[in-house]
């Protein structure tokens, strides 16, 4: 099916601007969306007749109406989608909403409503704004993650993860926001405070659901090599850092038996096995269960008191190198497996319970944190790597560079790298250690004690334990009748209070059992939505296996850098697991990523408290969609921040009006052969198209707009000075302007296309063909002077021969006039741009 075959019905479409003034945008905005819907211009044919491309903007959260940030991000994504469509690809550019989440629940409490009311009302508002904003989306694929038809499959996927051992429960100290009464993932704690409300976060021990993303740490890291060059370098760096691969060794120390306390084998993770002889004490994380197991009765009270203090600290505070080191002695000693030395075992907060093994060998001479601790508690410092630096015991600075091993028995005299290998070899021979790669990445804590999310499809039975809800009973739906106060945070999920919902028969034994009352982190919902878009109506699985493989991976993903870590990492993890289940061939979701900058106002992020917010709706009412979209794109490279105080939407309006008027001035009929037209204008047109192709591919959208402006000016000049609108080169130029402009200002472009005598839609017009011959013949201006004064300008080829330029200049009519019959004394020719003629006196 092609758009052309349907356009017969479009005769009634009339140009909407009568006077060429930019104020007519309202008429255009009222007219075109219905036409686009009718023609289904943005619905992919999806039949394999054309190569497919998938362009996706990070789907929005329905927090209110669209804001300036949305307007920028979606303008950028739409340029790519519209460009690929013009290039003849079958483009999937869907839209949907990430519609579960806490704000809806808080709004519901305030308004005594159900969260769905606020959510779906906001979605409708945003949807209307997106339509007005002329996002070239396929509306038939719209989805919402809070729809039963969607979260049914989120639950289904959870079950598959569960079956593979990738979803599990464990008791663990979790970050707890006392205000939101919910668990927060580490990454949702910013400087010790809740990412959402800013309240200081505390610790609480809870039984929680986790996804075992750590099983995929290696692949998540290694496969980033494929993304190199297609994803922003800083995003790759942030992901690598988050995964945090460290190469080192596990070394097992034996904690000696003491009185009634048995011996314990405790492994440590170290990146510096070469420094084993420099270990002078041993530290366990004060809050780890191990510390309680080890402590002697004599020191137990001190440890308990210390642990209470540690609870109040955030992970960031604990790791800060500024803070004074604190800790307590456990009364126990650890034996160094290499030299048999006995090291006192301390419990301290600078060692984290959930990194490495939660215990370390402390080498104060070569690790600053250990040195600070040693100095605070008078513990020995022993240099084992001679780097030529001052003794850390005196300088207070641990030495970390390369050097030669000393005080280290059989390792003495070896350089660092060799000593690392030798120490590991020795440990392996003794059976007391081995090489180990550690990751900073933790498992993904996915359960939330809140209502407005995907219920976890598990039933707890006293006899059978955890029993998954059978697939044919999915979705486990949220009760529809909870409102207002029913939802207020009580430390457990509001679902726990809904007896009729909680109490169910066990699917395995039929006995009485209870539903899991937690819901999933909304990052779960957004980790697979891009797969669902390939077949949003599919009911036999989360997506149609054929369709998903036809469309995936996403060719261009567009969104904010605030999602550089979590969302992207989780989406990559889901994709890999689903790939491993054999359901998709892709094992990376997003081939290319574009992070748009922020929209600022007066150098600062827009915010209510600063009072510098700019309302998108007001901007659209004042300048029109096209001018705002064009302004967003023209302001600078998409990755850069854009300051609304520095841009000129009214300048954009004027340019759009100029472009629009060109189309009104074209006299030649559609299909007129441009070959006879002004070749200078023709070259300019073809060069603009050729350059735009390159520039769009490299996301230099702002430069494309600048090139369009140049061509609009050149065309206006040609009309005013040359053959007027009858020049076939003018038609060619204006058609090219309309098509390229359609990426940025779809309404104006559509109106121009119609004025040029074409059927809608310009979005399906096809990218103009570039005539390479015309590019080669691009021209330059040669200035012709007589006695140093400019008398003529010639348009010539850049590689014109000097002799030819000389002939042309001498033959020029103005030159002849100024020579006034006199002969020529000298002619200085600097091809291609200057000829200076000196008359014979």
Per partner kind, with CB cut-offs from 5 to 8 A, the member of ligand ANZ, Zn ion, none near residue 461 is Zn ion
Q: What character string, x for contact with Zn ion (CB under 5 A) and - otherwise, covers 402-441? A: ----------------------------------------
Give dist(CA 99, CA 116) in Å, integer. Answer: 9
CA torsion, ordered 479, 483, 488, 494, to nearest 10 deg: -10
Among the listed residues 162, 282, 346, 355, the single contact to ligand ANZ using CB under 6 A: 355
Are 741 and 78 a contacting pair, CB within 8 Å?
A: no
Are 224 and 236 a contacting pair, CB within 8 Å?
A: yes
Shortest distance (Å) from residue 320 CB to ligand ANZ: 12
Per partner kind, with CB cut-offs from 5 to 8 A, the member of Zn ion, ligand ANZ, none near residue 246 is ligand ANZ
Shortest distance (Å) from residue 178 CB to ligand ANZ: 26
Using left for φ > 0, alpha for ψ between -120 and 50, and beta otherwise, residue 393 falls in alpha
Give dist(CA 20, CA 37) in Å, integer. Answer: 26
Q: Which C-beta is closer to Zn ion: that of 457 or that of 674? A: 457
Among the listed residues 261, 421, 464, 614, the single contact to Zn ion using CB under 5 A: 464
Per partner kind, with CB cut-offs from 5 to 8 A, the member of ligand ANZ, Zn ion, none near residue 142 is none
Shortest distance (Å) from residue 288 CB to Zn ion: 34
Nearest to 207 by CA among 176, 174, 185: 174
Among the listed residues 351, 520, 594, 663, the single contact to ligand ANZ using CB under 6 A: 351
Among the listed residues 52, 85, 272, 686, the single contact to ligand ANZ using CB under 6 A: 272
Per partner kind, with CB cut-offs from 5 to 8 A, the member of Zn ion, ligand ANZ, none near residue 352 is ligand ANZ
Shortest distance (Å) from residue 123 CB to ligand ANZ: 43
Q: What sections of 698-801 are H helices per DSSP?
A: 701-721, 728-741, 746-755, 772-776
Per partner kind, with CB cut-offs from 5 to 8 A, the member of Zn ion, ligand ANZ, none near residue 506 is Zn ion
348 binding ligand ANZ? (CB under 6 A): no
Among the listed residues 363, 411, 743, 774, the single contact to ligand ANZ using CB under 6 A: 363
Q: Which C-beta is closer to ligand ANZ: that of 438 or that of 631? A: 438
Q: Which C-beta is closer to Zn ion: that of 510 or that of 823? A: 510
Among the listed residues 366, 567, 731, 806, the single contact to ligand ANZ using CB under 6 A: 366
Give dist(CA 15, CA 672) in Å, integer. Answer: 21
Q: Which C-beta is closer to ligand ANZ: that of 293 or that of 587? A: 293
Q: Which C-beta is closer to ligand ANZ: that of 180 or that of 349? A: 349
Rounded to the nearest angstrom, the gap between the alpha carbon of residue 74 and the centroid of all alpha carbons in its chain is 13
For residue 122, what are the contacts with CB-CB under 8 A and spacing of at least 6? Answer: 62, 63, 64, 65
Give dist(CA 342, CA 314) in Å, integer. Answer: 32
Q: Which C-beta is closer to ligand ANZ: that of 363 or that of 552? A: 363
Give dist(CA 372, CA 398) in Å, integer. Answer: 9
Per partner kind, with CB cut-offs from 5 to 8 A, the member of ligand ANZ, Zn ion, none near residue 135 is none
CB burial string 641-662: b at 16+ within 10 A, e below: ebbbeebebeebbebbbbbbbb
Q: Which C-beta is closer to ligand ANZ: that of 270 or that of 742? A: 270
509 binding Zn ion? (CB under 5 A): yes
CB neighbourhood size of 422 (10 A) = 17
- What tokens appear for 352 in the block? 């984290």
Give dist(CA 230, CA 226) in Å, integer. Answer: 8
- What tokens appear for 374 in the block? 């040693």
Per partner kind, with CB cut-offs from 5 to 8 A, the member of Zn ion, ligand ANZ, none near residue 275 is ligand ANZ
How many residues bind Zn ion (CB under 5 A)? The answer is 7
Nearest to 360 by CA among 474, 435, 278, 284: 284
Q: Which C-beta is closer to ligand ANZ: that of 278 or that of 677? A: 278
Are 203 and 317 a contacting pair, CB within 8 Å?
A: no
Q: Which C-beta is closer to Zn ion: that of 35 or that of 506? A: 506
508 binding Zn ion? (CB under 5 A): yes
Question: Which residues within the stretch 427-446 sit at the binding site for ligand ANZ (CB under 6 A)?
Answer: 438
246 binding ligand ANZ? (CB under 6 A): yes
Nearest to 591 by CA among 84, 160, 60, 243: 84
367 binding ligand ANZ? (CB under 6 A): yes
Per partner kind, with CB cut-offs from 5 to 8 A, the member of ligand ANZ, Zn ion, none near residue 464 is Zn ion
Phi, psi of 701 (to 5 degrees): -65, -35
318 binding ligand ANZ? (CB under 6 A): no
Residue given tokens 């006392």 in the structure block? 178
Give dist(CA 259, CA 243) in Å, integer. Answer: 42
* Cα→Cα distances 352→289, 329, 629, 736, 824, Å: 12, 17, 49, 62, 91
Q: What sections of 725-836 are H helices per DSSP?
A: 728-741, 746-755, 772-776, 802-811, 813-819
448 binding ligand ANZ? (CB under 6 A): no
Phi, psi of 439 (to 5 degrees): -120, 145
Are 655 and 627 a contacting pair, CB within 8 Å?
A: no
Q: Which C-beta is closer to ligand ANZ: that of 356 or that of 542? A: 356
Stretch that binds ligand ANZ, among 82-90, 355-363, 426-434, 812-820 (CB under 6 A): 355-363
How many residues bind ligand ANZ (CB under 6 A)? The answer is 17
Q: Which C-beta is closer to ligand ANZ: that of 360 or that of 782? A: 360
Among the listed residues 291, 361, 594, 628, the single contact to ligand ANZ using CB under 6 A: 361
Among the listed residues 94, 358, 468, 674, the single contact to ligand ANZ using CB under 6 A: 358
423 binding ligand ANZ? (CB under 6 A): no
Report the run of H or E that residue 579 belongs to, with start and end: helix 566-580
Rg of the Cα atoms in the chain: 35
Per partner kind, with CB cut-offs from 5 to 8 A, the member of Zn ion, ligand ANZ, none near residue 361 is ligand ANZ
Among the listed residues 122, 275, 280, 693, the single contact to ligand ANZ using CB under 6 A: 275
Shortest distance (Å) from residue 165 CB to ligand ANZ: 25
Shortest distance (Å) from residue 326 CB to ligand ANZ: 14
The DSSP bridge partners found for residue 515 are: 459
**Cis before 475 (ω within 30):** yes
CA torsion, ordered 384, 390, 395, 398, to nearest 10 deg: -40
- What tokens appear for 633 in the block? 């794109």
Per partner kind, with CB cut-offs from 5 to 8 A, the member of Zn ion, ligand ANZ, none near residue 509 is Zn ion
360 binding ligand ANZ? (CB under 6 A): yes
466 binding Zn ion? (CB under 5 A): no
The DSSP bridge partners found for residue 514 are: 460, 503
Nearest to 337 by CA among 437, 270, 393: 270
349 binding ligand ANZ? (CB under 6 A): no
Shortest distance (Å) from residue 561 CB to ligand ANZ: 24
Residues contributing to the site for ligand ANZ (CB under 6 A): 246, 269-272, 275, 351-352, 355-356, 358, 360-361, 363, 366-367, 438
Residues lying near Zn ion in the complex (CB under 5 A):
461, 463-464, 506, 508-509, 511
């Amino acid at each position: 099916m092609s758009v052309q075959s349907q356009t017969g019905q479009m005769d009634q479409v009339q140009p909407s601007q009568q006077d060429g003034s930019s104020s007519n945008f309202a008429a255009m905005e009222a007219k075109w969306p219905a036409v686009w819907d009718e023609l289904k211009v943005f619905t992919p044919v999806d039949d394999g007749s054309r190569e497919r491309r998938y362009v996706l903007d990070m789907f929005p959260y329905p927090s209110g109406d669209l804001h300036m940030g949305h307007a920028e991000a979606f303008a950028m994504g739409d340029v790519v989608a519209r460009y690929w469509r013009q290039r003849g690809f079958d483009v999937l550019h869907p839209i949907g909403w990430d519609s579960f989440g806490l704000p809806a629940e808080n709004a519901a409490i305030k308004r005594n409503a159900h969260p769905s009311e606020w959510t779906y009302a906001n979605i409708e508002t945003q949807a209307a704004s997106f339509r007005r904003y002329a996002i070239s989306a396929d509306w038939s694929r719209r989805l919402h993650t809070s729809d039963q038809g969607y979260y049914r499959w989120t639950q289904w996927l959870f079950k598959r993860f569960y079956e593979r051992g990738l979803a599990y429960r464990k008791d663990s100290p979790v970050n707890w926001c006392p205000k939101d009464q919910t668990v927060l993932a580490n990454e949702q704690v910013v400087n010790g405070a809740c990412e959402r409300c800013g309240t200081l976060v505390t610790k609480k021990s809870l039984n929680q659901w986790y996804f075992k993303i750590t099983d995929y740490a290696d692949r998540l890291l290694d496969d980033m090599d494929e993304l190199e060059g297609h994803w922003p370098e800083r995003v790759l760096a942030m992901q690598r850092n988050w995964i945090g691969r460290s190469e080192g060794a596990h070394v097992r120390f034996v904690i000696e038996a003491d009185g009634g306390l048995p011996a314990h084998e405790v492994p440590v993770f170290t990146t510096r096995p070469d420094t084993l002889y420099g270990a002078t004490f041993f530290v366990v994380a004060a809050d780890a269960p191990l510390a309680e197991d080890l402590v002697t009765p004599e020191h137990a009270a001190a440890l308990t008191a210390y642990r209470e203090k540690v609870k109040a600290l955030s992970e960031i505070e604990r790791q800060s190198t500024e803070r004074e080191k604190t800790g307590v002695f456990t009364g126990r000693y650890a034996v160094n497996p290499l030299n048999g030395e006995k090291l006192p075992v301390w419990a301290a907060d600078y060692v984290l319970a959930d990194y490495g093994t939660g215990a370390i060998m402390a080498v104060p001479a070569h690790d600053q944190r250990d040195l600070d601790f040693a100095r605070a508690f008078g513990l020995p410092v022993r240099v084992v790597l001679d780097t030529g630096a001052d003794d850390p015991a005196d300088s207070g600075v641990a030495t970390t560079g390369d050097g030669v091993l000393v005080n280290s028995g059989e390792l003495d005299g070896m350089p660092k790298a060799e000593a690392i290998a030798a120490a590991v070899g020795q440990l392996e021979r003794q059976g007391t250690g081995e090489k180990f790669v550690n990751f900073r990445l933790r498992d993904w804590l996915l359960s939330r004690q809140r209502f407005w999310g995907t219920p976890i499809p598990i039933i707890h039975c006293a006899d059978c334990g955890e029993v998954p809800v059978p697939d044919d009973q999915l979705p486990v739906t949220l009760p529809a009748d909870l409102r207002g106060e029913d939802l207020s945070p009580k430390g457990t999920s509001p679902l726990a209070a809904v007896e009729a919902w909680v109490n169910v028969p066990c699917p395995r034994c039929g006995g009485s059992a209870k539903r899991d009352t937690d819901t999933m982190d909304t990052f779960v919902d957004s980790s697979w939505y891009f797969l669902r878009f390939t077949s949003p109506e599919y009911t036999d699985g989360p997506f149609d296996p054929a369709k998903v493989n036809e469309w995936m991976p996403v060719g261009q993903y567009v969104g904010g850098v605030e999602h550089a870590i979590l969302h992207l990492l989780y989406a990559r993890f889901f994709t890999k697991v689903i790939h491993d289940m054999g359901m998709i061939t892709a094992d990376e979701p997003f081939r290319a990523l574009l992070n748009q900058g922020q929209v600022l106002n007066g150098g600062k992020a827009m915010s209510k408290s600063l009072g510098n917010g700019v309302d998108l709706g007001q901007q659209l009412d004042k300048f029109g969609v096209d001018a705002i979209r064009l302004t967003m794109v023209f302001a600078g490279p998409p990755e850069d921040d854009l300051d609304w105080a520095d841009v000129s939407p009214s300048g954009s309006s004027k340019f759009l009006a100029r472009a629009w008027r060109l189309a009104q001035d074209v006299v030649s009929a559609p299909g007129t052969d441009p070959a006879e037209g002004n070749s200078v204008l023709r070259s300019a047109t073809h060069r603009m198209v050729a350059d735009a192709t390159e520039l769009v591919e490299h996301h230099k959208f702002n430069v494309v707009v600048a090139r369009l402006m140049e061509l609009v000016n050149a065309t206006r000049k040609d009309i005013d000075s040359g053959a007027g609108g009858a020049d076939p080169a003018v038609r060619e130029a204006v058609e090219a302007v309309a098509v390229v402009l359609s990426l940025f200002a779809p309404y104006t472009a559509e109106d121009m296309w119609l004025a040029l005598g074409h059927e809608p839609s310009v979005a399906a017009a096809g990218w103009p063909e570039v005539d390479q011959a015309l590019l080669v013949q691009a021209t330059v201006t040669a200035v012709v002077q007589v006695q140093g004064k400019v008398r003529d300008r010639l348009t010539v080829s850049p590689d014109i021969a000097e002799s030819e330029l000389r002939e042309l200049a001498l033959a020029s009519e103005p030159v002849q006039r100024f020579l006034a019959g006199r002969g020529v004394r000298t002619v200085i020719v600097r091809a291609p741009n200057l000829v200076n003629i000196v008359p014979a006196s």
